[in-house]
């Protein structure tokens, strides 16, 4: 039921409720789109005025190189464009460009001025202009990219300069090559060295070949493992499909079990009404013959009175007057009794409506269909349990897929057969035997005895599966429905008899005073006798109808009692059936989890194999380098001659004082010196911002609903409903809206963050719970404090947003937020996304939900009674 609007007292319109649901969702979606870096785009321009310069006769355009660095370094959401000075200035003023980077005309000359004399060295500059007509975030991001590109260019130039310095040391060291002329005298000795080096080169070549073969085998191992991983993934999908199917079966069984108590309660009410009303029908049927006999006696007495009126004396006239009065009183009592009978039968007539009979017929069909399904299910379960019926194809396919996915980890063929057989046996035990065990347990449960009826659940299912067992109840209801009109006709006739008897008594009374009018009295008695005769004739069918009514009422009462007895055992049986399907669903989920762990283990095995192959490949590369080095050593040894000793002495003296760097070392040293400090940023995620936006959206949505809806119903004092019922009428739909809003915002956050399946499911459930809690909090605030409650809600919102944007908020703001359920919801949501332990906070949140429910319910219950001042104002 929709809550009342705060103005007008009418229910809040569906359009407004839908608007209150969609506005926070759309607002959160808009803010989340701003948070994601890939959801915004900024335009920036590069104005290159650099004219370049010449170094040693070669043209060097450093401005063009800087522009290329910026274009290459740009993120995907910043679009750099090349522009001239006029278009750049125009785009900057119009907001087309968030930032315009201008490279001056002498940029290249200044950048390369360090290669000339020291007094001519000048620092180069670039001009970064920000648009006053563009978003601040776009301009800031573009400025940062420009600064980074400038730093990269500076680092590259410095690194190149230092690299040339280090290589200069090598050029100096090359001068020591003049000493090599004396090494020719060592040629004989170095020849032997060359031979040894050649043998070493041959050995390293063989090592390289062996490593290549090992790499080839490792690649095959990785390919086989990848195939095994793919099969494991298919098994996970199949196991999940099986678990989903069993889960749907469990959900349907639980829904059926949840609806059965309503059916049992309705049948119980029908039985109670029948116990109160149907015995009165039997008493009425027994009284009908006596009433009709009294009508016949009245007719005979009237005939005798009319025939003997001519000779009546004063004494007989007095007796006639007394008899007529008694007759009138008896007729009146008969009419009053029939009136009471009709009034007593009216609830039964309303109960035995066409809708009730159709509902009973529908219920009988549904119960019969359910019984047939249970009987058929028992047959299948028994076949599965004893092995006479093959297991479903889905289970066989799952087991076969697990068997086919097995890859033998050893090359021994005989051992592989044994391992494969053991693995297949384990798969059969885990799937087929487990399935038969579950079927055996379910079949055994159907053969348990119901404590209410003394029959097994299977026997009850067989009885209700035959619709003929329920047809007598429906027939009895229809026969009883047709007897109510006959009772009304009898009542109308009794009223006519009472009126005639009263007129007769009046006429006889006048006879005692007016003896001369005996003839007229005789005529009146004759007419009254004729009327009584006609009444008796018309009411004759009621003798048989009364008996039929009594018989139908008795049959109806017996049928209602049987129906009430039969349905009493259904809820317990349905609950046990739901428990069995729940255990089956749990087993299917555990099987799916086990298959998933198997797949993960295979993936880890494949990753380890790939790492092993990568290590071997690196070793092979190192061995190749070693072989090349040894070969070069052999070639160099052949070139060494007799002056090796003098060469070694001079080289040792020179190397002791002069450093020497290879090309790689020079580049590495230049890079480290030009950029001695690096940075690696980790942990920068949008999770906290997403949590803040979504939880704030839930809070705002709950505030909006409780702003337009009346917190306390207008009929809170006059309504006869309980306070809990009034609370449900006021807050039932808003809590459903809060849960729906939480689910929608949770899915929006999942789309934004792309977490794992477990984190995503918990995130959606947590936001749904927060939606209900916030709706209770807002209702309690508005219900107890009115406008001040809404103001307090806005204050808590401001405090939470302030702390969410910066941890450096004022201390009083943190104190206010510590009392806020909104801040607690933001903290729990962030902790969940960060993988922290949130079990205790969630339990506390559930307890807080109970407290807020009591506060919300109390805001309605407290207004069920008026104070004297309030009563005076209402009066």
DSSP 465-534: H-GGGTHHHHHHHHHHHTTHHHHHHHHHHHHHHHHHHHHHHHHHHHHHH-GGGHHHHHHHHHHHHHHHHH
Residues in contact with 333: Cβ distance below 8 Å, sequence separation at least 6, in sequence order: none
d(CA 846, CA 866): 33
d(CA 774, CA 731): 12
Relative orientation angle of helices 723-753 and 839-861, to the nearest 10 degrees: 150
8 A C-beta contact, residue 431 and residue 393 = no
Instruction: Give tens-digit pLDDT for 706-715.
Output: 776 666 655 5
Q: Is the pLDDT of residue 697 over 80?
A: yes
Q: Is the pLDDT of residue 74 over 60?
A: no
Q: Which of 719, 721, 717 is nearest to 865 (CA)?
A: 717
Judged by DSSP in three states, 46 sits in: strand
How many CB atoms neighbour CB 532 within 10 A?
26
Helices (H), 36-135: 62-73, 85-94, 107-111
Residue 379, phi-psi category: left (phi > 0), alpha (psi -120 to 50), beta (remainder): alpha
d(CA 545, CA 525): 30
* Residue 47 pLDDT class (50, 70, 90 cuts): very high
d(CA 370, CA 463): 11
pLDDT in the model for residue 682: 41
The H or E element containing residue 82 is: strand 78-82
Average pLDDT of the segment spanning 167-186: 55
**Buried b vs exposed e over 337-352: b needs ≥16 C-beta within 10 Å?**
ebeebbeebeebbeeb
Average pLDDT of the segment spanning 515-529: 58
d(CA 372, CA 376): 6
Q: Is the pLDDT of residue 846 over 50?
A: yes
pLDDT in the model for residue 751: 81
Q: What sign results for the dihedral spanned by CA atoms 219, 223, 224, 226?
A: positive
* Residue 305 pLDDT class (50, 70, 90 cuts): low
Three-point CA angle 811, 816, 819, nearest 5°: 130
Q: Is the pLDDT of residue 466 over 60?
A: yes
Q: Is the pLDDT of residue 321 over 80?
A: no
Q: Is the pLDDT of residue 220 over 70?
A: no
d(CA 589, CA 598): 14
Average pLDDT of the segment spanning 813-834: 70
Q: Is the pLDDT of residue 284 over 60?
A: no
Residues in contact with 187: Cβ distance below 8 Å, sequence separation at least 6, in sequence order: 640, 641, 642
Looking at per-residue pLDDT, the higher value among 81 and 458 belongs to 81
Average pLDDT of the segment spanning 110-122: 70
Judged by DSSP in three states, 95 sits in: coil
* Residue 452 pLDDT class (50, 70, 90 cuts): low
The residues pairing with 5 across neighbouring beta strands, listed in sequence order, are 709
How many CB atoms neighbour CB 395 within 10 A?
19
Mean pLDDT check: name the lowest of 246-255, 404-413, 536-545, 677-686.
677-686
| Structure tokens that stand for 339 in this block | 């009136």
pTM to 2 decimals?
A: 0.34
pLDDT in the model for residue 681: 39
CA–centroid distance for 767 within its chain: 10
* Residue 644 pLDDT class (50, 70, 90 cuts): low
Residues carrying CATH 3.40.1710, the chain = 41-177
Residue 57, phi-psi category: left (phi > 0), alpha (psi -120 to 50), beta (remainder): left
Measured distance between the N- and C-terminal CA atoms of the chain, rounded to whole angstroms: 30
Q: Is the pLDDT of residue 414 over 60?
A: yes
Q: Is the pLDDT of residue 426 over 50?
A: yes
Judged by DSSP in three states, 106 sits in: coil
Looking at per-residue pLDDT, the higher value among 365 and 874 belongs to 365
Three-point CA angle 559, 564, 566, nearest 5°: 95
Q: Which of 815, 765, 752 is nearest to 39 (CA)?
A: 752
Average predicted confidence (pLDDT) for the chain: 67
DSSP 7: T
Total H helices, total E strands in the chain: 27, 6
Average pLDDT of the segment spanning 241-270: 64
Look up the CATH number of domain 41-177: 3.40.1710
DSSP 392: P
Average pLDDT of the segment spanning 107-129: 75
Average pLDDT of the segment spanning 398-411: 76
The residues pairing with 814 across neighbouring beta strands, listed in sequence order, are none
Tokens 């995620």 locate to 685
d(CA 2, CA 9): 11
d(CA 174, CA 245): 79
pLDDT in the model for residue 84: 92
Q: What sign results for the dihedral spanned by CA atoms 441, 447, 450, 451?
A: negative
Three-point CA angle 542, 548, 553, nearest 5°: 120
Helices (H), 723-867: 723-753, 757-785, 787-805, 811-818, 821-834, 839-861
How many CB atoms neighbour CB 65 within 10 A?
18
d(CA 370, CA 465): 7
């Amino acid at each position: 039921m929709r809550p009342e609007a705060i103005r007008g007292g009418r229910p809040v319109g569906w359009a407004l409720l839908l608007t209150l649901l969609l506005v926070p969702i759309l607002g959160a979606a808009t803010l989340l789109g701003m948070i994601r870096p890939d959801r915004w785009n900024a335009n920036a321009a590069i104005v290159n005025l650099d004219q370049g310069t010449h170094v040693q006769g070669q043209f060097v355009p450093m401005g063009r190189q800087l522009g290329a660095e910026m274009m290459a370094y740009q993120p995907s959401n910043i679009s750099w464009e090349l522009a001239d000075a006029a278009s750049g200035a125009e785009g900057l003023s119009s907001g087309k460009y968030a930032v315009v980077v201008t490279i001056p005309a002498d940029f290249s000359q200044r950048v390369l001025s360090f290669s000339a004399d020291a007094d001519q060295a000048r620092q180069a500059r670039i001009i970064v202009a920000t648009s006053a007509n563009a978003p601040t975030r776009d301009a800031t991001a573009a400025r940062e990219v420009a600064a980074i590109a400038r730093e990269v260019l500076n680092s590259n130039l410095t690194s190149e300069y230092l690299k040339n310095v280090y290589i200069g040391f090598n050029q100096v060291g090359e001068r020591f090559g003049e000493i090599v002329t004396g090494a020719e005298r060592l040629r004989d000795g170095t020849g032997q060295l060359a031979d040894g080096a050649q043998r070493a080169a041959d050995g390293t070549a063989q090592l390289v070949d062996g490593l290549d073969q090992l790499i080839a085998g490792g690649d095959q191992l990785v390919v086989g493992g990848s195939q095994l991983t793919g099969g494991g993934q298919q098994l996970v999908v199949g196991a999940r499909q099986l678990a989903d199917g069993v889960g749907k079966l469990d959900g349907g069984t639980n829904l059926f079990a949840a609806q059965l108590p309503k059916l049992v309660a309705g049948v119980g009410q029908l039985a109670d009404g029948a116990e109160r009303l149907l015995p009165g029908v039997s008493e009425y049927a027994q009284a009908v013959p006596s009433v009709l006999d009294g009508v016949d006696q009245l007719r005979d007495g009237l005939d005798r009175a009319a025939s003997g009126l001519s000779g009546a004396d004063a004494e007989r006239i007095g007796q006639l007057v007394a008899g007529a009065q008694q007759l009138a009183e008896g007729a009146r009592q008969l009419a009053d009794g029939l009136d009471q009978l009709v009034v007593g039968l009216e609830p039964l007539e309303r109960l035995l409506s066409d809708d009730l009979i159709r509902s009973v017929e529908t219920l009988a069909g549904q119960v019969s269909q359910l019984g047939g399904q249970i009987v058929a299910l028992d047959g299948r379960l028994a076949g599965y349990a004893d092995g006479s019926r093959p297991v479903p194809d889905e289970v066989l396919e799952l087991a076969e897929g697990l068997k086919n996915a097995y890859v033998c980890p050893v090359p021994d063929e005989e051992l592989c057969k044994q391992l494969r057989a053991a693995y297949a046996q384990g798969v059969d035990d885990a799937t087929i035997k487990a399935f038969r065990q579950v079927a055996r347990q379910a079949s055994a449960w159907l053969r348990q005895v119901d404590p209410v009826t003394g029959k097994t659940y299977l026997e009850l299912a067989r009885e209700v599966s035959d619709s003929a067992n329920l047809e007598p109840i429906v027939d009895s209801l229809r026969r009883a429905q047709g007897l109510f009109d006959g009772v009304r006709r009898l009542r109308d006739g009794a009223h006519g008899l009472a009126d005639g008897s009263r007129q007769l008594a009046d006429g006889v009374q006048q006879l005692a005073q007016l003896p001369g009018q005996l003839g007229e009295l005789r005529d009146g008695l004759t007419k009254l006798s004729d009327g009584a005769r006609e009444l008796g004739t018309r009411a004759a069918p009621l003798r048989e109808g009364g008996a039929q009514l009594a018989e139908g009422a008795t049959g109806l009462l017996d049928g209602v009692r049987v129906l009430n007895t039969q349905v009493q055992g259904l809820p317990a049986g349905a609950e046990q059936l739901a428990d069995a399907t729940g255990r089956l669903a749990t087993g299917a989920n555990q099987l799916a989890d086990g298959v998933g762990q198997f797949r993960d283990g295979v993936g880890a095995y494949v990753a380890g194999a790939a790492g092993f192959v990568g290590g071997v490949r690196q070793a092979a590369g190192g061995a190749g380098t070693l072989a090349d080095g040894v070969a070069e050593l052999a070639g160099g040894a052949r070139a060494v001659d007799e002056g090796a000793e003098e060469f070694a002495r001079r080289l040792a003296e020179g190397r002791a004082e002069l450093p020497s760097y290879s090309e790689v070392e020079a580049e590495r040293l230049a890079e480290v010196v030009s950029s001695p400090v690096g940075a690696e940023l980790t942990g920068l995620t949008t999770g906290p911002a997403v949590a803040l936006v979504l939880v704030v959206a839930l809070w705002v949505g709950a505030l909006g609903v409780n702003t337009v809806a009346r917190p306390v119903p207008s009929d809170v004092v006059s309504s006869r409903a309980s306070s809990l019922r009034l609370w449900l009428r006021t807050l039932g739909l808003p809590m459903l809206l809060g849960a729906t809003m939480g689910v929608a915002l949770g899915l929006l956050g999942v789309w934004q963050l792309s977490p794992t399946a477990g984190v995503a499911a918990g995130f959606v459930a947590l936001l749904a719970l927060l939606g209900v809690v916030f709706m209770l909090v807002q209702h309690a605030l508005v219900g107890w404090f009115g406008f001040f409650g809404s103001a307090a809600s806005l204050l808590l919102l401001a405090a939470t947003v302030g702390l969410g944007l910066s941890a450096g908020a004022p201390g009083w703001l943190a104190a206010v937020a510590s009392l806020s359920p909104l801040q607690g919801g933001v903290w729990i949501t962030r902790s969940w996304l960060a993988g922290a332990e949130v079990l205790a906070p969630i339990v506390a949140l559930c307890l807080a939900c109970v407290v807020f429910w009591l506060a919300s319910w109390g805001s309605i219950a407290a207004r069920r009674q008026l104070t004297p001042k309030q009563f005076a104002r209402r009066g």
